[in-house]
């Protein structure tokens, strides 16, 4: 077998055999296949696709490339949650403490930013002192004592995905149903949870631009999870415009805290409550009653129990829980540029991918694997789709520590806004729940 033949076979639209997939994936994971050949194969997969059968094989090979975590020492039904990636998506920081406050043990592994989308691990690391890696025993102890621990993917879990994810991030090979399915499901299956809630994003700021593609992705992941004995729910949610008003890292942590304090933008609050309710339901904490799960999560948020759980979670992982009272502890960017409307009207579209790219270029994301993130860089959206503006009104503020990058990010953010004479129709935030 050789790598060039396999790349050519996929480039020409052929279906790879399990042996060929294993040869490339394990060869790359172990260092025998170089980055450039794997990049070529990933691009061929993006362009030609893979069958569901190839995707199931790829997922299994990636899952078995490392360890499988045994979470049996944690009492209760362990429920994981994973987003397919979006812009301004800080739901894990809200949903995990809400579900934990309702009694669902949260033993979760999260990812870093991918392409123009942000990642929970990068956001958590913007909290000074916060540690995103833990030994297994410490992880289990944390969940048993605090009810919640969220760490980065360790090198032992699906190492094939860890390497492929980093390569896809910088080679324009993220948008593929097969690559996303295998990436998410390989590590979720290895991470040991009993049940998984998937947040499948759909729209301009998602890897799946259309509802049909998002639905296919959701169905493939639910089928693969169920085939491995997991309870699964997928929520298909809108990502035409960014979620909430904050895009970046520390700025998103601030917005998550606002929501946990009972405020924050309506869309992020509503989606977080939906996802948390689905977790409570799968975690068997509401006796299978969806309405009861909804009441429980609302109560956890409104009573402050979820905020208290977030503080315990931050403290347990080395951060200062005082960030919930003093946002300055999260740091301040050195430069900020205001972006203003050039005409009157309504915001007819706010392109989430364009905002994600502007935020990435401001320093909040990586352009090369080794790039360091500017944790305080990002964008605050003053106006979103459907809102009225007058010429000169503030559309958004772009900030960070590198003046040239902030100015370039501001020019890009301006291009994300479309302004027209008619107020656009409202789109549904939650499009479907597949369980």
Looking at beta carbons only, is 94 or 208 nearer to ligand URA? 208
DSSP symbols for 189-245: HHTT-SEEEEEEEESTTSS--SHHHHHHHHHHHHHHHHHTT-EEEEEEEE-SS-SSS
Looking at beta carbons only, is 40 or 180 nearer to ligand URA? 180
Task: Please pick, from the candidates 39, 142, 154, 183, the single residue that binds ligand URA as defined by CB under 6 A.
Answer: 183
**End-to-end Cα, the chain, rounded Å:** 40
What residues contact residue 85 under an 8 Å CB cut-off, 6+ apart? 114, 115, 117, 174, 180, 201, 206, 207
For the annotated catalytic residues, the residue numbers are: 82, 161, 168, 183, 187
The reply on whether position 111 binds ligand URA by CB under 6 A is yes
Looking at beta carbons only, is 41 or 180 nearer to ligand URA? 180
The reply on whether position 43 binds ligand URA by CB under 6 A is no
Looking at beta carbons only, is 114 or 347 nearer to ligand URA? 114
The reply on whether position 184 binds ligand URA by CB under 6 A is yes
How many residues bind ligand URA (CB under 6 A)? The answer is 8
Looking at beta carbons only, is 79 or 179 nearer to ligand URA? 179
Determine which helix (DSSP H) or strand (DSSP E) holds 152, and give its type and residue range: strand 148-152
Closest residue to ligand URA, judged by C-beta, is 183
Q: Reduced to 3 states, what is the DSSP secondary structure of residue 413?
A: helix
Residues of this chain, 282-341, that bind ligand URA according to CB under 6 A = none
Task: Please pick, from the candidates 61, 71, 127, 180, the single residue that binds ligand URA as defined by CB under 6 A.
Answer: 180
Q: In this chain, which stretch among 131-139, 176-184, 209-217, 294-302 interacts with ligand URA, using CB under 6 A?
A: 176-184
Distance set, CA 130 to CA 23, 209, 252, 319, 354 (Å):
38, 34, 15, 4, 29
Task: Please pick, from the candidates 37, 84, 312, 359, the single residue that binds ligand URA as defined by CB under 6 A.
Answer: 84
Looking at beta carbons only, is 84 or 171 nearer to ligand URA? 84
Task: Please pick, from the candidates 7, 114, 243, 301, the single residue that binds ligand URA as defined by CB under 6 A.
Answer: 114
Q: In this chain, which stretch among 100-108, 135-143, 175-183, 377-385 interacts with ligand URA, using CB under 6 A?
A: 175-183
Tokens 């890897």, residue?
A: 207
The reply on whether position 25 binds ligand URA by CB under 6 A is no
Which long-range contacts (C-beta less than 8 Å, at least 24 apart) are formed by 263-271? 267/243, 267/429, 268/88, 268/90, 268/91, 268/94, 268/243, 268/244, 269/94, 269/301, 270/429, 270/430, 271/91, 271/199, 271/235, 271/237, 271/243, 271/429, 271/430
The reply on whether position 378 binds ligand URA by CB under 6 A is no
User: Residue 82 Cβ, how far from ligand URA at the closest point, in Å?
Assistant: 7
Determine which helix (DSSP H) or strand (DSSP E) holds 276, and give its type and residue range: helix 266-282
User: Residue 112 Cβ, how far from ligand URA at the closest point, in Å?
Assistant: 9
Looking at beta carbons only, is 38 or 347 nearer to ligand URA? 38
CB 343 within 8 A of CB 213: no
The reply on whether position 97 binds ligand URA by CB under 6 A is no
* 433, β-bridge pairs: 235
User: Residue 181 Cβ, how far from ligand URA at the closest point, in Å?
Assistant: 8
The reply on whether position 154 binds ligand URA by CB under 6 A is no
Residue 44, class by beta-carbon neighbours within 10 Å (0-12 exposed, 13-18 middle, 19+ buried)? buried
List residues binding ligand URA (CB under 6 A).
Answer: 84-85, 111, 114, 179-180, 183-184
């Amino acid at each position: 077998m050789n790598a060039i033949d396999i790349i050519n076979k996929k480039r020409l639209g052929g279906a790879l055999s399990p042996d060929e997939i294993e040869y490339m994936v394990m060869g790359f994971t172990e260092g025998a296949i170089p980055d450039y050949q794997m990049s070529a194969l990933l691009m061929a997969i993006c362009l030609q696709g893979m069958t569901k059968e190839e995707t199931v094989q790829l997922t299994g090979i990636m899952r078995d490339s490392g360890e499988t975590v045994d979470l049996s020492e944690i009492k209760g039904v362990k429920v994981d949650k994973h987003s397919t990636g979006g812009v301004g998506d800080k739901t894990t920081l809200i949903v995990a403490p809400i579900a934990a406050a309702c009694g669902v043990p949260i033993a979760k592994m999260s990812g870093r930013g991918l392409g123009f989308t942000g990642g929970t691990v990068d956001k958590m690391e913007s909290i000074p002192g916060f540690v995103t890696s833990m030994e297994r025993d410490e992880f289990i102890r944390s969940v048993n004592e605090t009810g919640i621990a969220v760490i980065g993917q360790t090198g032992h879990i699906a190492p094939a995905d860890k390497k492929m994810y980093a390569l896809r991030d910088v080679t324009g090979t993220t948008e593929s149903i097969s690559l996303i399915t295998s990436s998410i499901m390989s590590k979720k299956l290895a991470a040991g949870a009993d049940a998984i809630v998937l947040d499948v994003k759909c729209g301009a700021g998602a890897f799946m631009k259309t509802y049909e593609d998002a639905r296919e992705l959701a169905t493939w992941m639910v089928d693969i999870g169920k085939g491995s004995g997991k309870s699964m729910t997928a929520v298909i949610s809108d990502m035409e415009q960014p979620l909430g008003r904050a895009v970046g890292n520390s700025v998103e942590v601030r917005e998550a805290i606002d929501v946990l304090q009972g405020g924050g933008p309506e869309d992020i609050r509503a989606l977080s409550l939906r996802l948390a309710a689905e977790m409570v339901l799968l975690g068997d904490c509401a006796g299978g009653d969806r309405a009861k799960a909804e009441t429980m999560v609302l109560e956890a948020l409104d009573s402050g129990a979820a905020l208290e759980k977030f503080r315990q979670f931050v403290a347990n992982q080395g951060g200062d829980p005082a960030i919930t009272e003093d946002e300055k502890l999260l740091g301040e960017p050195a430069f900020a540029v205001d972006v203003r409307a050039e005409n009157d009207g309504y915001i007819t579209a706010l392109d989430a991918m364009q905002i994600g790219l502007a935020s990435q270029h401001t320093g909040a994301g990586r352009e090369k694997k080794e790039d360091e993130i500017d944790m305080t860089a990002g964008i605050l959206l003053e106006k979103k789709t459907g809102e009225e503006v007058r010429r000169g009104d503030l559309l958004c503020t772009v900030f960070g520590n590198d003046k040239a990058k902030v100015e370039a990010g501001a020019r890009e953010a301006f291009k994300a806004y479309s302004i027209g004479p008619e107020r656009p129709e409202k789109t549904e935030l939650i499009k479907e729940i597949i369980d």
